[in-house]
Amino acid sequence: QVQLVESGGGVVQPGRSLRLSCAASGFTFSSYPMDWVRQAPGKGLEWVALISNDGRDTYYADSVKGRFTISRDNSENTLYLQMNSLRADDTAVYYCARRSTVMDYWGQGTLVTVSS
């Protein structure tokens, strides 16, 4: 069955960097675009970034453009989110999601807390 497992979250100081990973299994990873979506504590969902199945095309929300980089390693079935210049308002649970037409499978999320 489809499994997505995020890791890499934690507490980080403002201005620092963090890299999230999402390990995929149970499907042909290289055939699907992938997304990152985040949810601040007690708030709604915010789409963050998308990467095409081959990694050539990427899209970002304005709130993270220039600071976050989405990438993937199809040989390792792993999705990444490199987060630089982190701010307090980046504090959230970060989910990776598989995209068919829509985000049909989601991981359990990893919590990123940006705090001094």
Partner 1 sequence: DIQMTQSPSTLSASIGDRVTITCRASQSISSWLAWYQQKPGKAPNLLIYKASSLETGVPSRFSGSGSGTEFTLTINGLQPDDFATYYCQQYNSYPWTFGQGTEVEIK
Question: CA–CA separation, 48 vs 62, rounded Å?
Answer: 9
Label residue 61 exposed, middle or buried (CB < 10 Å: 0-12, 13-18, 19+). Answer: middle
- Chain centroid offset of residue 62 CA: 15
- Sign of the Cα torsion 91, 47, 81, 77 reads positive
Choice between 80 and 95, CB closer to partner 1: 95
Nearest CB to partner 1, comparing residues 28 and 116: 28
Smallest gap from Cβ 116 to partner 1, in A, equals 26
Q: Which is nearer to partner 1, 64 or 86 (CB)?
A: 64
Tell me which residues touch partner 1 (CB under 8 A). 35, 37, 44-47, 50, 59, 61-62, 95, 101-104, 106-109
Smallest gap, in angstroms, from Cβ of residue 75 to partner 1? 26
